[in-house]
Structure 1
Amino acid sequence: RLRNLRSDGLPIHLKRGYPDRMLYRTTMALTIGGTIYCLVALYIASQPKNQK
């Protein structure tokens, strides 16, 4: 159990290898994608509608 506490330069959220890397990358992709989606939605919502 103490072997994971050694100082190898890895952040604690990436200590368990491949599964942690995939979870981290998926979380970051969803966060960045969600941010871009929200910014696009705000831009579209801020445009005035054409009254015909």
Structure 2
Amino acid sequence: MLWNLLAVYQIAQRTISTAFYTYFENKVPEKQKLFQEDNGIPVHLKGRVTDTLLYRVTMVLRVGGMANAINLLAMASFPKKQH
């Protein structure tokens, strides 16, 4: 029984450790080159299209939220008069 568990453990460990290296390539050096390049672009926008899109969506939501907050404060500051 113990030998069977040991064999299963070794097979599982072997397939997991070799599967990782065969299916994924290391892209870290490419990313390091991209992010360390001095081209005047801020770091948070160097991820190209996805970072730019995420940044713009965040700014639109932020401005919309601020406008909504100011609107709600104005409505709370000037309550409607009762007749």
Number of matched pairs: 52
TM-score by length of 2: 0.58
Normalising by structure 1, report the TM-score: 0.89
Q: Which runs of 5+ in 1 are unaligned?
A: none
Q: Which residue of 2 aligns with 1:37?
A: 68
Kindly state the Cα deviation for residue 7 of structure 1 after the two structures are TM-superposed: 0.3
Structure of larger gyration radius: 2
Q: CA RMSD in A?
A: 1.0
Give 1:21's aligned residue: 52
The aligned counterpart of 1:51 is 82
Q: Going by fraction, where is helix more abundant, 1 or 2?
A: 2
Task: Give structure 2 stretches of 5+ with no counterpart.
Answer: 1-28
Distance 1:12 1:22 in 2: 14
Who is 2:33 aligned against? 3
What is the CA-CA distance between 1:50 and the residue it aligns to?
1.6
